[in-house]
């Protein structure tokens, strides 16, 4: 692991790091905020997964999480959204696929299977790196994200119920197998058999029996992607039928941007902190 940069913020340290990823077969970059409480011992870990076109830097620069994370004593990990590099296959003119659009799946189709293994990267390789290099209490982890990253947070929580204490999302893609901006990507990464996609679809996972303790979702009513790409009511229905508690906040007038995310960031961090503190 290499240190790209560090900066003091709210008494803690915001760092950016890189490493050679065996999972994605390329160099990967990620950000970690370590709060001042880490001087006294390991701190709980909150994972933030970003959306389409983003890197680790979007939430780091615009998410406004550090003040509250420092107050609550939480490490915040912000991974990249896809493999990177000149040798990584891509569709440069398609912002909904390829670099910046890994969709947190493990691709099985060529030429993407070698590099696009973001599910395993987020759930296996990067946690091991965090555990080995930061003052992290890996027995207390939670996860959240935005849009494509909200999708990632939901499916990772549903598939790793023993690892995460809580899960929330900003404007998540809740049923990517039927949404126009995600269905083509799933087919390219995973093949034409739509039944295979269900393992990476939050609504399908719940319908197929996956369970989690509870979810929190914030969604802007003025989000231009709401009706065709996000459709949180589908997940609300799935959770209701499965008996999974879901708090769905429709935020009047808010859009899909980081103006929306930063407005409600403190709420999410405080919500996770309460659950990370519980026995």
C-beta neighbour count of 125 within 10 angstroms: 17
Q: Which of 147, 168, 177, 182 is catalytic?
A: 147
DSSP string, 189-223: HH-S-HHHHGGG-HHHHHHTT---S-EEEEEETT-
CA dist., res. 122 & res. 49, Å (int): 9
Contact criterion met (CB below 8 Å) for 134 and 33: no
Dihedral of CA 138/265/6/124: which sign? positive
Our answer to whether residue 147 is catalytic in this structure is: yes
Q: Which of 204, 149, 143, 202 is nearest to 168 (CA)?
A: 143
Q: Which residue has the tokens 């701190």?
A: 43
Q: Are strands 75-78 and 26-34 parallel, antiparallel or unpaired?
A: antiparallel
Our answer to whether residue 208 is catalytic in this structure is: no
Torsion angles phi and psi, residue 149, rounded to 5: -70, -30
Q: Which of 56, 146, 151, 256 is catalytic?
A: 256
Q: Are strands 2-9 and 12-21 parallel, antiparallel or unpaired?
A: antiparallel
* Sheet with 75-78: strands ordered across: 2-9, 12-21, 26-34, 75-78, 43-49, 136-146, 164-170, 215-220, 246-251
Q: Which of 223, 236, 268, 272 is catalytic?
A: 223
Give catalytic residues, as residue numbers.
Answer: 147, 223, 256
């Amino acid at each position: 692991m290499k240190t790209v940069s560090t900066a003091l913020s709210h008494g803690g340290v915001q760092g950016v790091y890189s490493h050679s990823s065996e999972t994605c077969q390329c160099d990967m970059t990620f950000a970690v905020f370590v709060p001042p409480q880490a001087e006294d011992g390991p701190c709980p870990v909150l994972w933030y997964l970003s959306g389409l076109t983003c890197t680790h830097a979007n939430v780091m620069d615009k998410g406004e999480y550090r003040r509250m994370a420092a107050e609550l004593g939480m490490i915040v990990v912000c991974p990249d959204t896809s493999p990177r590099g000149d040798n990584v296959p891509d569709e440069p003119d398609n912002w909904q696929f390829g670099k910046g659009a890994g969709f947190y799946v493990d691709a099985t189709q060529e030429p993407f299977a070698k590099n696009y293994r973001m599910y395993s990267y987020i759930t296996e390789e990067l946690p091991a790196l965090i555990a080995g290099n930061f003052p992290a209490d890996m027995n207390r982890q939670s996860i959240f994200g935005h849009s494509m990253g909200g999708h990632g947070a939901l499916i990772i929580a549903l598939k790793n119920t023993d690892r995460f204490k809580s899960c929330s999302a900003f404007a998540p893609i809740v049923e990517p197998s039927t949404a126009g901006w995600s269905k083509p990507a799933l087919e390219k990464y995973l093949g034409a058999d739509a039944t295979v996609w269900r393992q990476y679809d939050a609504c399908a996972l719940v319908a197929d029996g996956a369970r989690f303790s509870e979810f929190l979702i914030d969604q802007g009513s003025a989000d231009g992607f709401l009706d065709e790409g996000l459709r949180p009511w589908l997940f609300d229905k799935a959770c209701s039928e499965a008996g999974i508690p879901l708090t769905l906040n429709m935020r009047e007038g808010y859009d899909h941007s980081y103006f929306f995310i930063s407005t409600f960031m403190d709420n999410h961090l405080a919500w996770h902190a309460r659950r990370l503190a519980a026995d």
